């Protein structure tokens, strides 16, 4: 019982129930797509029944395999320490399937395939879904196994409060529950005793409330202790079942390998050859599991499962199911960026980001994209991209209309607000390295103009053309895009440009942060950002700024601009809680401190004295379904306070790159 409680209480169910890949094993292109938009839905030319569901439950299968490690081969379930049966439903015929032998982890995964939530399992020429659709309480199966006494646990109870049945959803759920209760009545009648814990207020997604639900189960069983004792006396005392020999200890000798990968003979051959070259004919069960499941993290398969069929007395047939993850022919993506600063002025910015991509060509290696960012003024990006077949080179062209706000402050209030508009285009070529780095070469032509939107005149409304090229290097080893727990992300930029009069300028820039786990739930984050003018000059609107960025995690009296700016900071996060399943993951308390420096000429005469400033902040960071939410209360070296609320779908310090 203690081991079962540990599994229920200590398992990270949010990660286990989602089909997430190890981000470090994804291609750099996949990482970039994740970082750009939080929510993304792809449409695929896929009519495979085994993909019909929200999740393939890959990590559930891995969890089952680890828990059932001693029984990793196909076997008779009567040979388990306690005889066992799994109930499934044939998706095609509706027939109940009672599994008394086979691959234990696979039949358990099949028996929990709730339609629409988990994908059906293709197992031995049948598509199998949750056994609850044919027999939700298999008391009769237990009788057929020879059980003298059957004690059933009923988890369903009809809602009695009429006020809670006032919505269409509530009525639909109640109606489905009526059918379920009716179907299981025969099983209840076949039971000697039925325990019905009061689970009012709980639902099927409350995996992280296992401790409290188990307490309710113990309470319900304790209240029926006399009835249970009476049943026990009827059959007398029995010794605990003797453990049988564990059939999957030591090393496994593989005599044959069969791979199913969507009928792609070449892919199946390559997977089989790689397994043979890496594992050989013999490996430990632990080594075999770890190696096979590492295939899934490459991001190329919908799931990667295996089973072992005995061949004779000393070898096994390894059967691998690895359906390919086909590239979507179109993808819809969205995200939001929101920030609200409260000083003496209240500045709120909101951007709704949407994108549509469509891939075409025989290998789906050409893409057309359309991105629309809606804020006070919209931004639009239209592009074409070609990826060479081996994925090691990307070439593309984009045209864009970008709109950005430029704030100027005085005495903690907004003195002026300008808009910087850019109409332009670029050609680029990018080359990823080792899934962790990307080198890009860009050539661009921009036409810029500025317009005053609020406040006094600090700069003349003007327009100018700009031509140039840049080299951009990106590094990404983060374990995830939102609220990372470990890894690094950085960017380095060299930009050379000239205007219509032939005046040139050069810019060097770098930004990065490093997530260092110190202990469970405790993360140290050093970060830095720099942009410097190598030669030439910049207008006030082009100059880099510090003060309005979430990067700083602190309060500063104005948004400072200069030809050269640098920032260094340190943040410490401690997990203090977790969001409900389906809403997000961790909640952190964060302490942060930063300092920043500007040198050479400032953009605006009145800011010329502000060359160094520092500050700190305390607040919350939440990893949510829509992005990373931060709520900070900050102060500067003068002891003045401010507040910040923000939602970001990507690491915002990278937005300038």
For the cut 80, the answer to whether the pLDDT of residue 183 exceeds it is no
Q: What is the DSSP letter of 84?
A: -
Q: Sorting pLDDT into bands at 50, 70 and 90, what band is 358?
A: very high
Q: Which domain holds residue 182?
A: 44-235
Is-contact 257 275, C-beta < 8 A? Answer: yes
What average pLDDT score do residues 284-303 get? 87
CATH for 532: 2.40.160.50
Handedness of CA 159, 162, 167, 171 (dihedral sign): positive
**Same domain for 340 and 401?**
yes
Window from 333-347, 397-411, 486-500 with minimum mean pLDDT = 333-347
CATH for 271: 3.10.20
Number of domains the chain contains: 3
pLDDT of 461-470, one tens digit each?
Answer: 688 899 999 9
Secondary structure E strands in 456-582: 463-476, 487-499, 504-519, 522-535, 545-546, 560-578
Q: What's the pLDDT score for residue 552?
A: 53
Establish if 1 belongs to a structural domain. no
Q: Distance (Å, rounded) from C-alpha 452 to C-alpha 643?
A: 27
**Same domain for 335 and 315?**
no
Establish if 210 belongs to a structural domain. yes
For the cut 60, the answer to whether the pLDDT of residue 549 exceeds it is no
Number of H-type helices and E-type strands within the chain? 12, 32
Q: What's the pLDDT score for residue 134?
A: 85
Establish if 39 belongs to a structural domain. no
Report pTM: 0.76
Q: Sorting pLDDT into bands at 50, 70 and 90, what band is 474?
A: very high
Task: Decide which of 637 and 444 is more confident.
Answer: 444
Q: What's the pLDDT score for residue 605?
A: 42
Q: What's the pLDDT score for residue 23?
A: 80
Q: Sorting pLDDT into bands at 50, 70 and 90, what band is 557?
A: very low
Establish if 630 belongs to a structural domain. yes
Q: Which of 264, 290, 321 is the last residue of a domain?
A: 321
pLDDT of 5-19, one tens digit each?
Answer: 888 888 888 778 887
What average pLDDT score do residues 481-509 get? 91
Q: Which of 194, 209, 235 is the last residue of a domain?
A: 235
**Same domain for 190 and 307?**
no
**Same domain for 520 and 614?**
yes
Phi/psi class of residue 495: alpha, beta or left (left: φ > 0; alpha: ψ in -120 to 50)? beta
Q: What's the pLDDT score for residue 422?
A: 94
**Which among 85, 61, 493 is positioned nearest to 306, based on CA atoms?**
61
Q: Using DSSP, state whether 58 is helix, strand or coil.
A: helix
**Same domain for 342 and 309?**
no
**Same domain for 230 and 258?**
no
Q: Sorting pLDDT into bands at 50, 70 and 90, what band is 655?
A: very low
**Same domain for 275 and 383?**
no
Q: What's the pLDDT score for residue 73?
A: 84
Window from 220-229, 365-374, 380-389, 449-458 with minimum mean pLDDT = 449-458
Secondary structure E strands in 57-209: 75-76, 86-90, 96-99, 101-102, 116-118, 121-123, 126-130, 151-153, 193-195
For the cut 50, the answer to whether the pLDDT of residue 389 exceeds it is yes
Q: Sorting pLDDT into bands at 50, 70 and 90, what band is 492?
A: very high
For the cut 70, the answer to whether the pLDDT of residue 338 exceeds it is yes
Establish if 145 belongs to a structural domain. yes
**Same domain for 574 and 627?**
yes
Task: Decide which of 346 and 513 is more confident.
Answer: 513
Average pLDDT, the chain: 82
Q: What's the pLDDT score for residue 649?
A: 58
Q: Sorting pLDDT into bands at 50, 70 and 90, what band is 626?
A: confident
HSE-up of residue 491 (Cα within 13 Å, Cβ side): 20
Strands 487-499, 463-476: pairing kind:
antiparallel
Is-contact 108 128, C-beta < 8 A? Answer: no
Burial of residue 165 (number of CB atoms within 10 Å: 0-12, 13-18, 19+): middle
**Same domain for 288 and 220?**
no
Establish if 243 belongs to a structural domain. no
**Same domain for 63 and 188?**
yes
Q: What is the DSSP letter of 295?
A: T
pLDDT of 67-93, one tens digit each?
Answer: 888 888 889 999 998 899 999 999 999
Q: Which of 299, 321, 343 is the last residue of a domain?
A: 321
Show contacts of 501-509: CB within 8 Å, 24+ apart: 503/536, 503/537, 504/535, 504/536, 505/533, 505/534, 505/535, 505/536, 505/537, 505/538, 506/533, 506/534, 506/535, 506/536, 507/531, 507/532, 507/533, 507/534, 507/538, 508/532, 508/534, 509/544, 509/656, 509/657
For the cut 90, the answer to whether the pLDDT of residue 396 exceeds it is yes
**Same domain for 169 and 296?**
no
For the cut 60, the answer to whether the pLDDT of residue 229 exceeds it is yes
pLDDT of 20-48, one tens digit each?
Answer: 777 877 778 778 877 778 778 877 776 67
Establish if 449 belongs to a structural domain. yes
Establish if 7 belongs to a structural domain. no
Q: Distance (Å, rounded) from C-alpha 345 to C-alpha 342?
A: 6
Q: What's the pLDDT score for residue 614?
A: 79
**Same domain for 351 and 316?**
no
For the cut 70, the answer to whether the pLDDT of residue 249 exceeds it is no
């Amino acid at each position: 019982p203690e081991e079962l409680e540990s599994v229920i209480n200590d398992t990270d169910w949010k990660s286990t129930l989602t089909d997430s890949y190890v981000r470090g094993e994804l291609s750099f292109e996949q990482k970039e797509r994740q970082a750009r938009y939080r929510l993304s839905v792809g449409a695929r030319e896929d009519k495979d029944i085994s993909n019909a569901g929200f999740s393939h439950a890959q990590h559930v299968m891995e969890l089952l395999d680890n828990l059932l490690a001693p029984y990793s081969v196909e076997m008779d379930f009567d040979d388990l320490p306690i005889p066992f049966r799994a109930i499934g439903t044939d998706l095609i015929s509706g027939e109940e399937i009672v599994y008394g032998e086979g691959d234990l982890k696979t039949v358990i995964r099949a028996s929990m395939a709730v339609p629409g939530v988990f994908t059906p399992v293709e197992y031995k020429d049948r598509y199998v879904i949750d056994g609850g659709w044919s027999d939700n309480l298999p008391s009769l199966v237990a009788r057929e196994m020879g059980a003298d006494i059957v004690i059933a646990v009923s988890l369903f109870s009809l809602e009695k409060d009429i006020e809670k049945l006032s919505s269409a959803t509530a009525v639909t759920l109640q109606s489905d529950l009526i059918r379920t209760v009716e179907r299981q009545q025969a099983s209840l009648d076949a039971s000697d005793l039925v325990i019905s814990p009061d689970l009012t207020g709980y639902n099927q997604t409350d995996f992280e409330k296992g401790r409290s639900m188990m307490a309710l189960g113990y309470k319900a069983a304790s209240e029926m202790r006399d009835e249970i004792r009476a049943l026990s006396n009827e059959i007398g005392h029995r010794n605990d079942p003797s453990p049988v020999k564990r059939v999957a200890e030591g090393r496994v000798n593989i005599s044959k390998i069969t791979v199913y990968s969507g009928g792609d003979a070449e892919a199946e051959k390559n997977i089989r050859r790689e397994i043979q070259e890496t594992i050989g004919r013999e490996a430990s069960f632990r080594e075999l599991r770890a190696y096979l499941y590492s295939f899934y993290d490459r991001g190329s398969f919908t799931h990667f499962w295996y089973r072992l069929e005995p061949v004779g007395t000393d070898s096994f047939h390894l059967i691998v199911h690895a359906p390919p993850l086909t590239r979507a022919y179109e993808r819809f993506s969205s995200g939001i960026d929101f920030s609200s600063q409260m000083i003496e002025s209240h500045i709120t910015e909101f951007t709704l980001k949407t994108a549509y991509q469509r891939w075409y060509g025989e290998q789906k290696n050409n893409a057309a994209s359309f991105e629309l960012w809606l804020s006070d003024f919209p931004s639009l990006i239209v592009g074409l991209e070609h990826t060479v077949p081996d994925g090691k080179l990307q070439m593309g062209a984009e045209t864009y209309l970008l709109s950005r706000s430029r704030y100027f402050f005085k005495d903690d209030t907004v003195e002026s607000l300008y808009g910087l508009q850019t109409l332009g285009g670029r050609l680029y070529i990018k080359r990823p390295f080792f899934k962790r780095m990307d080198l890009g070469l860009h050539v661009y032509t921009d036409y810029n103009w500025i317009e005053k939107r609020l406040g006094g005149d600090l700069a003349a409304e003007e327009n100018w053309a700009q031509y140039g090229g840049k080299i951009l290097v990106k590094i990404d080893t983060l374990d995830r895009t939102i609220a990372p727990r470990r890894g690094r992300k950085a960017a380095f930029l060299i930009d050379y440009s000239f205007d219509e009069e032939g005046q040139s300028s050069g810019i060097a820039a770098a930004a990065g942060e490093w997530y260092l786990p110190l202990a469970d739930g405790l993360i140290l984050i050093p970060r830095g950002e720099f942009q410097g003018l190598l030669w030439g000059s910049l207008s006030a609107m082009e100059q880099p700024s510090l003060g309005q960025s979430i990067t700083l995690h602190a309060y500063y009296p104005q948004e400072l601009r200069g030809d050269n700016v640098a920032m260094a900071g340190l943040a410490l996060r401690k997990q203090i809680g977790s969001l409900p399943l389906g809403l997000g993951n961790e909640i952190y308390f964060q302490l942060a401190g930063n300092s920043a420096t500007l040198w050479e000429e400032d953009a605006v005469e009145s800011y010329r004295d502000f060359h160094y400033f520092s500050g700190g902040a305390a607040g919350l960071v939440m990893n949510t379904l829509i992005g990373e939410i931060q709520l900070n209360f900050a102060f500067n070296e003068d002891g003045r306070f401010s507040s910040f609320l923000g939602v970001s779908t990507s690491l915002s310090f990278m937005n300038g790159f």
